[in-house]
Structures are given as C-alpha cells and as structure tokens.
C-alpha cells in the first residue's frame, strides 16, 4: 500500500482509489487512471482499511463499518486524507494526497487580494466550491500568510487535519474531529474560551456550527470556513436556508455585517494538457455588497456588483476570470464556456471585446 501511495504522490495523483473488482486507480489532472495489474478483492480492501483505522473499537467492529474518516502518513512522502466506505457489502477506500509542504498564495497563483482578505482583523471568510476544487489548499495558503506576517493564535478544527502548519510568527493549534474533539460545534463552542485570534472551521455543516461561527466573527475573531456551493449568491442562500424561516431575516443581517469575503473556485483543465488551473470568483465586503446580502430579492444580483468592484476592490466574477485565462491561453474556449455562468452571454461578451 505504501509503495502505491508513494508512486501516486510522485506522479502527480490527487486521489488514490482501492475498490474490490478493480486494480488500484489514480486520479491525475482530474482523470481516473487504472493501474495495470491484478484486481483487488474484498479481503485486500479490508486489509487496507484496517491499516488506516487507528481506533481499536472501530477495528474490532470493522465488518459492520459503513464509513470512516481519517488520515495517514508515509514518512518522507506525503500525508493522506482517507475515507473508508462500504459499497455492495464490501469496504472501499479513497485517499486524497496532501502535499507535505504548506502552499502559499503565490505558489498557487492566487490573486494578491487574497493576502488582503487574510489580513482582515475580524469577520467571516468563506472558501467555496465542489469537492476536489482545491478549497483546502486555498485556506491553508491564507493561514500560512497570517502565520508568516502576524503574531496571533490560530486555532483550526478539521476533519481530518490536512496540512500541518509549523509556528512561524503565529502560534497554531490544530484539532482533529474524533481524535481531539467530538464535533465541529463542540470544538467551536470551546474555541471561544481558548484565546484565539483566528479560527479555521473545516466545514459549515449544520445550524449550530454556522451560528457559533457567526458569533465568533461578531465578537472580533477572524473565522475561516468552507461551504459546498458554487458562487457567492448560492453561498448566502445556502447558509440562510439552514435556519428556520422565522430566523432567516436576522441571519441575512448577521451575514451582511460579518461576511468579509467569499472566494468560490473551480479547477479546470489547462489548454496545454499539463494539469489544471483554478478559476475564482472573489467577493469582498462593501456597503453595496452588504445591501445585496440583506435583501433576499437582491442577492441573485451579486454577480453584477462583483464585476463592477474589480478595479477598486479586487473582486472578480467567474466570467471575468475565465475570459482573462482564455485570452492568456491557459484554458480552451470550450472549457471557458462550459464553466461560465451563462455560456451564450460569455461568448457574446468575448466577441464584443
């Protein structure tokens, strides 16, 4: 198993699949590539799962296990985020490769405005996108920027811990769900008594977690988290919809006051076939943005406000960034159109330029 993990890390894989009935499979540049060799059996994947599970009680009851999250490390190679799940009665394992080195905003090619966002004194910063869109890397890069430039206490709550941060200028505490704490909301409630300046919550999963994260932002902390949404408007709608109808107006007001920035991202194949490139929508808090978040009928129009805020605030819509990347030869026109908010409008805009 370690040899397969090492080979995957050395060949640029992002994920490694162990499933009964197939040889091990790598995801490289977004595409699945099955290795040549023998197909894995249910006994093989069960052994892989037993290697990854550290909880003796879970190991003992493995034949009734349905899903399990954890992490794994191959010294000198990389760390891995692991998910064990049962399908068709047998265990399968998916492992995400986490680079040993913490990425920086510059090394990821992210816009400089993310450094400004990371330097906010307080408020809520959300990184959104589908699974596998690079949210964890972007968050890690912003935490790294704080760590290199400010003397603060940074507290992260993750499931599982991904990038391992070393203290540079800041002091960093990293807590893992299941190992160090029971759940996001329990850890976040306790975090407010642990003298944090910056709090990273791996994911906004439920009403209580969102509510406590907002309270932390409202009381002077800088809070980072992720949401599985595709753009700023959908992020606002998703967070509001989690709450009961009678609380939603107040939640909109709280979000309008606390949400400092929303960074939504998608990974797209490069035109030269050498990997993928990230497309970003970036929304930064302004008075107009606050008004559009407060009013439910205006939220859908956030895209227009974002586009108008590019020169003054560093904001950008997906379509603006896609157009820029297409003109630079980074992505093909077909890729740009398929990722655009409205492909027909996007193509028309290109033709008018």
Per-residue pLDDT, averaged over 110-126, amounts to 97
Per-residue pLDDT, averaged over 28-37, amounts to 93
CA distance linking residue 342 with residue 277, whole number of Å = 20
Question: pLDDT tens digit string along 253-279?
Answer: 999 999 999 999 999 999 998 889 999
Whole-number Cα distances in Å, 334 to 226, 269, 331, 347:
28, 11, 8, 10
CA distance linking residue 262 with residue 45, whole number of Å = 39
Alpha helices by DSSP H, 131-206: 135-149, 184-191
Alpha helices by DSSP H, 24-173: 42-52, 56-60, 113-118, 135-149
Per-residue pLDDT, averaged over 188-196, amounts to 96
CATH of domain 2-98: 3.30.450.90
Per-residue pLDDT, averaged over 239-244, amounts to 97
Tell me what pLDDT residue 353 has: 62
Question: pLDDT tens digit string along 209-240?
Answer: 999 999 999 999 999 999 999 999 999 999 99
CA distance linking residue 351 with residue 353, whole number of Å = 6
CATH of domain 113-316: 3.40.50.300
Q: How many residues does the chain have?
A: 353
Tell me the sheet residues that pair with 277. Answer: 268
SS3 content of the chain, % helix, strand, coil (to 5): 40, 25, 35
β-strand pairing of 25-28 with 31-34: antiparallel
Q: Report yes or no: 261 and 222 within 8 Å, Cβ to Cβ.
A: no
Residue 308 in this model has a pLDDT that exceeds 90? yes
Q: Report yes or no: 184 and 203 within 8 Å, Cβ to Cβ.
A: yes
Residue 313 CB coordination number (10 Å)? 18
Sign of the Cα torsion 116, 118, 120, 121 reads negative
Domains of the chain, residue spans: 2-98, 113-316
Tell me what pLDDT residue 280 has: 97
Token pair in block for residue 274: 């050498």
């Amino acid at each position: 198993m370690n040899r397969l993990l090492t080979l995957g890390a050395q060949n640029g894989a992002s994920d490694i699949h162990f499933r009964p009935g197939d040889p091990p499979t790598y995801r490289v540049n977004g595409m699945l590539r099955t290795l040549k060799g023998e197909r894995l059996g249910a006994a093989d994947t069960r052994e892989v799962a037993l290697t990854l599970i550290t909880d003796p009680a879970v190991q003992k009851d493995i034949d009734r296990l349905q899903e399990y999250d954890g992490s794994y490390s191959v010294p000198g190679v990389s760390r891995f985020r692991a998910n064990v799940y049962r399908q068709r009665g047998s265990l399968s394992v998916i492992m995400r490769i986490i680079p040993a080195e913490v990425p920086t905003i510059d090394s990821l090619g992210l816009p400089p405005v993310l450094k400004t966002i990371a330097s906010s004194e307080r408020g809520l910063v959300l990184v959104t996108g589908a699974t596998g869109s690079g949210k964890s890397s972007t968050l890690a890069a912003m935490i790294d920027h704080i760590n290199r430039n400010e003397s603060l206490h940074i507290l992260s709550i993750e499931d599982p811990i991904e990038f391992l941060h070393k203290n540079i200028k800041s002091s960093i505490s990293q807590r893992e769900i299941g190992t160090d704490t029971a759940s996001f909301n329990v850890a976040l409630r306790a975090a407010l008594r642990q003298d944090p300046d910056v709090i990273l919550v791996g994911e906004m999963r439920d009403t209580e977690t969102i509510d406590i994260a907002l309270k932390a932002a409202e009381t002077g902390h800088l809070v980072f988290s992720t949401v599985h949404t595709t753009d700023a408007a959908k992020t606002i709608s998703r967070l509001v919809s989690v709450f009961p109808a009678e609380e939603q107006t107040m939640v909109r007001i709280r979000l309008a006051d606390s949400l400092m920035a929303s960074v939504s991202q998608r990974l797209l194949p490069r035109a030269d076939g050498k990997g993928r490139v990230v497309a970003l929508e970036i929304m930064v808090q302004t008075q107009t943005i606050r008004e559009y978040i407060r009013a439910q009928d205006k939220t859908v129009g956030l895209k227009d406000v974002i586009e108008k805020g590019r020169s003054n605030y560093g904001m950008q819509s997906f379509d603006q960034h896609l157009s820029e990347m297409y003109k630079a030869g980074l992505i093909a026109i077909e890729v740009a159109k398929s990722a655009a908010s409205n492909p027909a409008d996007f193509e028309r805009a290109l033709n008018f330029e």
